[in-house]
Amino acid sequence: MAITKKDIVLKIANETGIKQVDVKHVVQSTLDKITEFLSQGNTVELRNFGIFKVKSRRGRLGRNPRTGQEVPVPPKKVVVFKPGLIMKRDIK
């Protein structure tokens, strides 16, 4: 089962008594800031949760699975996540 942002907002609002609209704003602002920092090339470290960072992938030659023809794959940047110690411990 996939948990959505709405599920997270509802759970936090129910546990804290804060209005859903306010929780949604805080959650969205947090996600927006993480995205902004990553797009600037920064690493985002959330203690006991994990680390988000941007890595560059080199260009390479791929293969079209339908035709078998070689296709150039351009270099790109991808976001990687490394879980923190507490997350690793709790997810078994």
Distance CA 58, CA 52 (A): 19
87 and 49, same structural domain?
Answer: yes
Neighbours of 27 (CB within 10 A): 16
Per-residue pLDDT band for 38 (boundaries 50, 70, 90) equals very high
CATH number of the domain encompassing residue 86: 4.10.520.10
Given a cut of 90, whether residue 92 has pLDDT beyond it is: no
Domain of 25 in residue numbering reads as 1-42
38 and 48, same structural domain?
Answer: no
64 and 24, same structural domain?
Answer: no
pLDDT tens digits, one per residue of 45-86: 999 899 999 999 999 999 999 999 999 999 999 999 999 999
Total domains present in the chain: 2
pLDDT tens digits, one per residue of 4-30: 999 999 999 999 999 999 999 999 999
